[in-house]
Amino acid sequence: MLLIGGVNYYTGQYLDIKKIAALGHAKSCIVGIDLAHGAGNVSPELHDSGVDFAAWCTYKYLNSGPGSLAGLFVHERHAKNRNLPRFAGWWNHNKETRFNMRQPFDVMPGAEGWQLSNPPILSMAAIKASLDMFDLVGMKALRKKSEKLTGYFEFLIQQIDTDRIKIITPSNPKERGCQLSIQVKDADKSLHQKLMDKNVITDWREPDVIRCAPVPMYNSFKDVYEMVAILKTLL
Ligand SMILES: *Cc1c(COP(=O)(O)O)cnc(C)c1O
């Protein structure tokens, strides 16, 4: 099996998953993509990419809150294969005969056959509220703003006159989502704390990287401008 992050959590690099699927399949691998940093951030076109499966959490860009349900994609070519090993629970058993409790276990074809058990309704409600907003705005519009917002962020960072910082995220908008990872020389986590004290929410990754993700759904160009001004003062 070839399992890899579609958007790298550290560098923010968005890999060409279609190419990865082709490479993996050429070596007879099952190809799976971790989209924890991709869901709600990029448009991976999973079906067309040809990957066998993908999984993601919903509490990052999808805003459903910590502990919320994850998501799973299984390619249509596997949809009716009942012989694939899977977690089995009463929710993926044929509904007609579910309560007869007889062998063999009768897995439903399609997406229903990957359910396991009762979903937690409060978690589902948060996901639904979020996905409704994503439906309303659309990934296309979000990506369009995101490319501009992160491009503006990158431009402002490059204007800071210092040799202490370096953006380690690719500069090609097709090779990233909204995150920029900034490597800072001679800094430690206290820089992140100072940003937090100014109400700038970023994330520190050891040894020397701040991850910053201006999110098109709710961050503005003004937010980005103010964040960079604060970072500049702190540096
Ligand atoms: C956040 C994250 C996950 C999600 O893990 P959970 O167990 O759902 O919290 C998976 N992979 C990466 C790289 C992540 O950053």
Dihedral pair phi/psi, residue 31, rounded to 5°: -110, 125
Q: 217 C-alpha to center of ligand 1: Å? A: 21
Architecture of domain 139-234: Alpha-Beta Complex (3.90)
- Residue ranges matching CATH 3.40.640.10 in the chain: 2-137
Q: What percent of the chain has pLDDT over 90?
A: 91
Report the alpha-carbon angle 232-234-235, nearest 5: 65
Report the alpha-carbon angle 231-233-235, nearest 5: 70
Residue 171 CA neighbour count, 13 Å, CB half: 7
- pLDDT tens digits along 60-86: 999 999 999 999 999 999 998 988 888
Collapsing DSSP to helix, strand or coil, 30 comes out as coil
Q: 34 C-alpha to center of ligand 1: Å? A: 8
Tokens representing 78 are 């596997």
User: Which residues does a 6 A CB cutoff place in the pocket of ligand 1?
Assistant: 5, 9, 34, 36-37, 57, 70
Q: What is the pLDDT along the chain (235 residues), one digit of tens a residue?
A: 999 999 999 999 999 999 999 999 999 999 999 999 999 999 999 999 999 999 999 999 999 999 999 999 999 999 989 888 888 899 999 999 999 988 999 999 999 999 989 999 999 999 999 999 999 999 999 999 999 999 999 999 999 999 999 999 999 999 999 999 999 999 899 999 999 999 999 999 999 999 999 999 999 999 999 999 999 999 9
Query: Whole-angstrom Cα distance, residue 88 to residue 96?
Result: 16
Query: Could you tell me which CATH number the domain at 2-137 has?
Result: 3.40.640.10
Q: 203 C-alpha to center of ligand 1: Å? A: 15
Give the Å distances, CA to CA, from 6 to 36, 58, 210.
8, 15, 20
- Residue ranges matching CATH 3.90.1150.10 in the chain: 139-234
